[in-house]
Chain A
Amino acid sequence: MLRPRIIPCLLVKNKGLVKTVRFGASKYVGDPINAVKIFNEKEVDELIVLDIDATTTGAGPDFKMIQNLAAECRMPLCYGGGVKTAEQAKTIISLGVEKVALSAAVLANPELVTEIANEIGSQSMVVVLDVKKRLFGGKYEIWTHNAKVNTGKCPIEFAQLLEKMGVGEIVLNSIDNDGEMKGYDMSLVKQVREVTTVPLSVVGGAGSLKDIGNLISQFGIIGAVAGSLFVFKGAYKAVLINYPNPADKEQLILSSYRADQAKDSR
């Protein structure tokens, strides 16, 4: 049986690992390579590493760092941050990364998805959508540049376009829920899931394994991504890299998952 994926997401800033709340208030949580080593031991399903400086500072991807991370990773790695061209995506894949995530560049030019998918294969082409809900009216919009630029685009419509362009996976990131640890934005996930069939991963808001269980029980095959949950422990958010052990993870998946769920619910 194919299993839903439970994925830690690490944010890199100034070569260090940070965790944010609502895309701000970044807190230093350690060294990226060290975190990867711990996640290797914990046998995590996959790992997402996002360089949150690369686009905003215009520096672009730090290939040396990416190579070091890829060499250390014993699980599939998805890298995102500052990628603008098919050439950069190809270089990153050649460094031993399985998937490359784009965001701002694709929002500006959706055809880039097709261009890159033709080079590295659709399965390795990931798009991250940072989504924020409007204060009035509750309309969802895609933001870029660390939630500083509003594209005004609707994530539900844009996800369909991405699928048409040949995207291999969509990562839905809720800006409002980031670091809040109060659960995923299920309404956003539902609306995007209903109109697409491409693998979907969700990040922003997971505060407990129960939140992950809820996501799996509603959507079946899905990527449940979490930042804070896997780097903090306890009410005072002490830094402690953690991840459910294989038995607990299996229990969580089996108790939440039914293969036909997502199809039935539609």
Chain B
Amino acid sequence: MIAIVDYGLGNVLAFVNVYKRLNIPVTVAKTASDLVGASKLILPGVGAFDHAMQRLEQSGMRQAIDQLVMQQGIPVLGICVGMQILANSSDEGTLPGLGWIAGQVRKFDVATLPHHTHLPHMGWNDVTPVTGGGLFAGLEQDARFYFLHSYYFDCLQLQDTLALSDYGIQFSSAVSHKNVYGVQFHPEKSHHFGSQLLKNFAEL
């Protein structure tokens, strides 16, 4: 079963609702024992990088999550800040990230933006998958998702970029390495595009 990790960040209910409509059973994990038997993890997130890492450490679930993802190799999907903490570190904070996908989280350089509105990058933007299928099955053309962030994931390995978006520069709006996935946008708030992506994750 998919476990949505509730470490006090992000819209856990929204994921529950999307999966309910898809008739896919999910569970909300608040403690390490809730994670026993999970076959997939969703790591939601909003807010600041260090705050997210602290909350994860304090949740008492860190060890169990490491075990599931690193030892057992179950798929994990990080959302927004839940994606950014997959990196090694962030310009936004001082704490180390999980380091599951090699990279550094950087702030957008507003000087590259063609328009007057700067940060946060807020609203609906195009997401272009690098390859078809997998997480982006059925989303190869004209996929659009809701973004709300000021920092982006700068991948160290080119092949870890799963999808690209444009905000002054092209940046990795989705990343993956082995069983670890992350998306910068909010699939739980992106209508049928997001619902399709979350369905795809369930079917990986």
Seen from chain A, the residues whose Cβ lies within 8 Å of a Cβ on chain B are: 1-5, 40, 43, 45-46, 67, 70-71, 73-76, 93-96, 98, 120-124, 168-169, 193, 197-200, 219-223, 259-263, 266
Contacts and interface: CB of A to CB of B under 8 A. Distances in A.
B123 A1 contact: no
A74 B17 CA distance: 9
B116 A3 contact: no
B117 A98 contact: no
B8 interface: yes
A48 B147 CA distance: 17
A199 B189 contact: no
Contact of B114 (A46, A121, A168, A263): A263
A173 B186 CA distance: 27
B192 interface: yes
A249 to B, nearest CB: 10
A262 B122 contact: no
Contacts of A124: 46-47, 148
A49 B175 CA distance: 34
B12 A260 contact: no
Contact of A74 (B122, B126, B189): B189
A263 B148 contact: no
Contacts of A260: 114-115
A98 B115 contact: no
A196 to B, nearest CB: 9
A122 B150 CA distance: 9
Which secondary structure characterizes the binding site on chain A? loop
A122 B11 CA distance: 16
Interface string B96-109: 00000000000000
Contacts of B147: 2
A198 B192 CA distance: 28
Please classify the interface of chain B as helix (H, G, I), strand (E, B), loop, or mixed, using the class held by over half of its residues. Answer: mixed
Interface of B: 8, 11-14, 17-18, 46-48, 110, 114-126, 144, 146-150, 166-167, 186, 189, 191-192, 195
Given A121-B46, A266-B116, A2 B17 contact: no
Contacts of A3: 123-125, 144
Contacts of A67: 13
Contact of B47 (A95, A121, A219): A121
A98 B123 contact: no
Nearest to A124: B46
A1 B117 contact: no
A123 B123 contact: no
Given A1-B125, A2-B124, A4-B123, A221 B117 contact: yes
A1 B126 contact: yes
Contacts of A259: 114-115
Contacts of A198: 117-119
10 contacts: A2-B121, A2-B167, A3-B124, A46-B146, A76-B148, A123-B122, A123-B150, A197-B116, A197-B117, A259-B114
A75 B146 contact: yes
Given A121-B47, A123-B46, 10 more contacts: A2-B166, A75-B146, A75-B189, A123-B149, A197-B118, A220-B116, A221-B123, A223-B123, A261-B115, A262-B115
Given A1-B166, A221-B116, A263-B114, A199 B122 contact: yes
Contact of B189 (A71, A76, A94, A168): A76
Nearest to B11: A96
B124 A123 contact: no
B115 A199 contact: no
Contacts of A5: 122-124
Q: Which 8 A-B pairs have the closest CB atoms?
A: A262-B116, A121-B47, A197-B118, A221-B117, A96-B13, A123-B120, A259-B114, A43-B191
B13 to A, nearest CB: 4
